Amino acid sequence: MSSEVATVPVVTIATIGQHEGQTITLRGWLYNIRSSGKLLFPTFRDGTGTIQGIVPKAAVPEEVFNTLKELQLESSLTVTGKVRADSRAPSGYELDVEDIHVISPVSADDPFPITLKEHGVDFLMEHRHLWLRTPRQSAILRVRATIMRAAAEYFDTNGFIRTDPPILTPNACEGTSELFEMDYFDDDKAYLTQSGQLYIEATALALGKVYSFGPTFRAEKSKTRRHLTEFWMIEPEVAHLELSGLMDLAESFITHIVTRVLESHRADLKVIGRDVSKLEAITALGPFPRLSYEEAHAMLEKAYAEGKLENPHKDGDDFGSPDETYISSQFDKPVMVHRYPAAIKAFYMQPDPADPTKALCLDVLAPEGYGEIIGGSQRVDNYDLLKSRIEEHNLPLAAFQWYLDLRKYGSVPHAGFGMGIERAVAWICGLDHVRETIPFARTLNRIYP
């Protein structure tokens, strides 16, 4: 005689398909509930996905039915039930509920503020800590995590050493007007880093191929769909690398990331509403188009003449958003625009020997109007040229002496780029605004919650 009690396995919604026909337990929250008389249709979520349950009044103890019927959304609970395949269900499965156990009920007097009706973006951002629970926002964060992992994995598996630059810095990297300044003991000032680049140039000359991956800060007073004041950047830097090799690197890096997302996030991309054929085009054979600034400018001139652009692009100016949108909309793949006028680019960029008014730099513009996701360049490797650049830009020489040293002791051509994770997530997920790409966005007018 056996006294064996069948133990019910605790599983996640993402892997529930492995338990078809079995009774299982889920730990999660009540996401939604519909009722039609003697039938309840609760939807549960557990962080890995959502699943609909079926609760016929006659099939469960009365207490289970009544508790569930009165339960407020986002109450936490465990649910036990039998997994049934259902081709109409979004996840492919439904749960025949047998029992529930409420862990923490939400009060009916103070219900969960986010309902299934439409809310304004300000309301949602004010409740971001709760908004994150909705399936679309959770799906975006899962894709973000894969993008970050794939980005680091690309460099880790291609001979790059991760070297972490400081976040508190004594000087600017990307222009002095966008710095967050803070007091740093005894009358000193420190600035939150805008980019790890200058420091990883030093580690690249020590280790050859390096990358950094961390938060960066820009006190930008721009309220666009593409700007955050705090964002994550991944930056490779390579000794003995020149511009054409840098473009090869950017192309293979982006292809790797999109491949990884397509491998494991089809269901999430569906929840987000992303047209995956646009992403499949990225991983299809064939190179990313490469256009010089001059070629891109000519393309914009022609478009303006044909009435396809509202405003003309002035030769020598940076591209505006409508310009970038137009250029990228001409191709299925990210476009690499190289050799911008040196005058509109950073002080550290190497001039093109063929035309020193141009910089050996590159911007990668994502398709579908997402604009710049990568910025990078070959770096000035000559001591005297770099020194005069620092002076022309009115930067404090003393603060940059260490950076100049890199050109004094065994200088070599070297190059690198930075990709903003949030811009990449916005593009890959097809989102309107970068505020949904990071758990808690920091923007010009928001630092809560």
CA 220 from centroid of its chain's CA atoms? 19
* Pattern 328-367, ligand 4AD, x by CB under 6 A: ----------------------------------------
Q: Residue 173 interacts with ligand 4AD (CB under 6 A)?
A: yes
Q: Which of 155, 319, 417, 427 binds ligand 4AD (CB under 6 A)?
A: 417
Angle between helices 421-429 and 135-156 (to 10 degrees): 120
Choose one: 150-158, 192-200, 220-228, 373-381; the region binding Mg ion (CB under 5 A): 373-381
Cβ pair 397, 387 in contact under 8 A: yes
**Shortest distance, position 344 Cβ to ligand 4AD, whole Å:** 12
Shortest approach of ligand 4AD to residue 233 CB, angstroms?
5
Among 81, 165, 341, 375, interactor with Mg ion by CB under 5 A: 375
Tell me the closest approach of the beta carbon of residue 212 to ligand 4AD, in angstroms. 8
Q: Which is nearer to Mg ion, 196 or 375 (CB)?
A: 375
Which window, 111-119, 305-313, 372-380, 438-446, contacts Mg ion (CB under 5 A)? 372-380
Residue 56 one-letter amino acid: P
Residue 173 binds which one of Mg ion, ligand 4AD, none, with CB within 5 to 8 A depending on kind?
A: ligand 4AD
When binding is defined by CB under 6 A, the residue of 74, 268, 323, 372 that contacts ligand 4AD is 372
The token duo for 256 is: 């790797």
C-alpha torsion sign, points 408, 194, 355, 291? positive
Residue numbers 215-244 binding ligand 4AD by CB under 6 A: 218, 220, 227-228, 231, 233, 235
The token pair at 81 is 């039930």
Q: Answer for the pair 303, 326: CB distance below 8 angstroms, yes or no.
A: yes
Closest CB to ligand 4AD among residues 341, 376: 376
Residue 334 or 375: the one with the smaller Cβ distance to ligand 4AD is 375
Task: Please state whether beta strands 168-169 and 181-183 pair in parallel, antiparallel, or not at all (unpaired).
Answer: unpaired
Least distance (Å) from ligand 4AD to the CB of residue 359? Answer: 12
- The packing angle between helices 383-392 and 401-408, to 10°, is 160
> Is 249 one of the binding residues for ligand 4AD (CB under 6 A)?
no
List own/partner pairs for 296-299 with CB under 8 A and 24 or more apart. Answer: 296/323, 296/327, 296/337, 299/326, 299/327, 299/330
- Dihedral over Cα of 314, 319, 321, 326: its sign: positive
Among 13, 419, 425, 441, binds ligand 4AD (CB under 6 A): 419
Half-sphere exposure of 365 (CA within 13 A, CB side): 28
Q: Looking at the DSSP assignment, which residues form a beta bridge with residue 358?
A: 341
DSSP class of residue 275 equals: -
Q: Using CB under 6 A, which residues numbered 133 to 162 contact ligand 4AD?
A: none
The reply to whether 416 sits near ligand 4AD by the rule CB under 6 A is yes
Q: Which residues contact 248 (CB under 8 A, 6 or more apart)?
A: none
Residues of this chain that interact with ligand 4AD (CB under 6 A) are: 173-174, 195, 197, 218, 220, 227-228, 231, 233, 235, 372-376, 416-420, 422-423, 434
